[in-house]
Structures are given as C-alpha cells and as structure tokens.
Amino acid sequence: MKELETLMKTFGEGLRTLAQGVHAIADKLDSYVESSKGDAGFGTAPESAEENAETVDFQQKVAVNATEVVYETILRAAKPITMGELSEKTGYDRKKLNNILYRLRKQDKIKNVTKGVYTIK
C-alpha cells in the first residue's frame, strides 16, 4: 500500500512539473503572437471565405514530365529539329534526350528524318 502511495505522489509531482512546462510554453507562444501581430506586412485577413476567394487569384502549376517537354518542343519546331537544338531548348543532356526520343519513337509520335534529326509523325 505504501508503494502505491509513493507512486501516486511521484506521479502527481511529475504531472505538476509537466503542467508548469506547458504553461511556460503557452506564455512564450502568447508573447510571440502578440509581438508578431501586424509585422507580417500582408494587411488584414479576409473576414469570410467568399472574400478570400475573390481577392486571392493564383494559378495552379501542373507538373509536366520531360517527355511532354521534348514532344512539345518538337511540335513547335517548324522544321525537323536536331539533337543539339533539342538539348539547347530543353536543357536536358544527350543521354536523357536519347531515352525520351526512343520512347516517343516507340509510341509513334515522332520519326527519324536522318541520324540525330527528328520530326513529328
């Protein structure tokens, strides 16, 4: 029975210490929030979601993979395009371009005019 009492006292002291730590953190957080109010420079927050939707106009960026970039580059070219031109326009190295061009040829989207020169099928 004494063991249980000492365990409960120890547990109670631990909880008190933990509560004091939580209060200290909460006080620091409150002082931080009070000091940072108005310093953000963003103005006031919108009062409703509708007002927020009207004022915030952002564009969602769509992820584009490398194959699509190369295919679009070949599509935009008025004449057949070389590996060097593709490398300059896309910024990809030769190995990556070779793999992409191989994939596009297998999908029958492009064709070889001569070695290293490609056009739309």
Q: What is the CATH number of domain 66-120?
A: 1.10.10.10
pLDDT per residue as tens digits for the range 42-64 = 555 656 666 555 555 555 656 68
User: Rounded CA gap, 43 and 18, in Å?
Assistant: 38
Q: Is the pLDDT of residue 41 over 60?
A: no
pLDDT per residue as tens digits for the range 10-28 = 989 999 998 999 988 888 8
Is residue 102 helix, strand or coil? helix
Residue 109's pLDDT is what? 94
Question: What are the domain boundaries of the chain?
Answer: 2-40, 66-120
User: Rounded CA gap, 101 and 118, in Å?
Assistant: 9
- pTM exceeds cut of 0.85: no
Residue 58's pLDDT is what? 55
The set of residues, in sequence order, having a beta carbon less than 8 Å from that of 89 and lying 6+ positions away, is 73
User: Rounded CA gap, 90 and 82, in Å?
Assistant: 12
Contact in structure between 92 and 64 (CB atoms under 8 Å):
no
